[in-house]
Copies of this chain bind each other. A is one copy, B any other.
Amino acid sequence: MRILIVEDEPTLGQQLKSTLEQNGYAVDLSTDGEDGHFLGSTEEYDAVILDLGLPEIDGLTVLGMWRKEGRKFPVLVLTARDSWSDKVAGLDAGADDYLAKPFQTEELIARLRALIRRASGNTSSELTAGDVRLDTRSGRVTLKGEPVKLTAQEYKLLSYLMHHKGKVVSRTELIEHIYDQDFDRDSNTIEVFVTRIRKKLGAEVITTIRGLGYSLDDPADQPRA
């Protein structure tokens, strides 16, 4: 999953970035409103963390612009103080959740996870497809109850597919969502990891749709396939 952080204070921003990366997210960091707005408008993110107290352009303005442009990613708003008016304004402008500074990183992670989960239409933190089960809280994957060891990239790829079960996901979409900004787009890493995952979880979990991409289907959703 790929996250955008818009935070003017460099120390906090950098710290957030590395914390999130340690939790398996691909993270882009922007330190001003204009650049942040541009990134959010051009790149693909699964969630955005937005500080309201930005220099130059206000965070609320940026959020408003995104929504007007039709960007739908969930936005978690950070605000300097527990100011009630900011909260109302934020939610009005289209924020999906709200966290007052200062905050604990663990809570931020928990909320972010919940936002991404809800945005993809899932209600539980446990995603299942056939015999495969993925727990987004503990970061564990099991096959028929047996724990399976996945590497970081394998996990990211599988996680994205499971969050979009049934949808056909193109290779470029996968690259955009599991790598951050600077990454060589034409490479066959995706294929390599799909192969690896199939080896560990069984070939049938990921279906190839020639010319379009991949799709992860839950047999339970299709009585006969």
Interface, chain A (partner B; CB < 8 A): 19, 22-24, 38, 41-44, 68-71, 82, 100, 102-107, 138-140, 145-147, 151-152, 166-168, 170-173, 176, 209-213, 222-225
Contact = CB atoms under 8 A, between A and B. Distances in A.
B100 A22 contact: no
Nearest to A24: B212
Nearest to A137: B167
A185 to B, nearest CB: 9
13 contacts: A22-B170, A22-B172, A22-B212, A23-B170, A24-B211, A41-B103, A41-B104, A42-B102, A42-B104, A44-B105, A146-B225, A147-B222, A152-B210
Contacts of A105: 44, 172, 176
Contacts of A223: 145
A222 B143 CA distance: 12
A145 B224 CA distance: 10
A212 B139 contact: yes
Contact of A43 (B22, B24, B104, B210): B104
A151 B210 CA distance: 7
A171 B22 CA distance: 9
A44 B146 contact: no
Contacts of A172: 19, 22, 105
A183 to B, nearest CB: 14
Given A69-B82, A146-B224, A172-B19, A44 B104 contact: yes
A208 to B, nearest CB: 11
A21 to B, nearest CB: 9
B139 A209 contact: yes
A212 B44 contact: no
Which 5 residue pairs of A and B lie closest in terms of their CB atoms, listed nearest first?
Answer: A42-B102, A152-B211, A41-B102, A139-B168, A22-B170
B106 A212 contact: no
A129 to B, nearest CB: 15
A75 to B, nearest CB: 15
Contacts of A41: 102-104
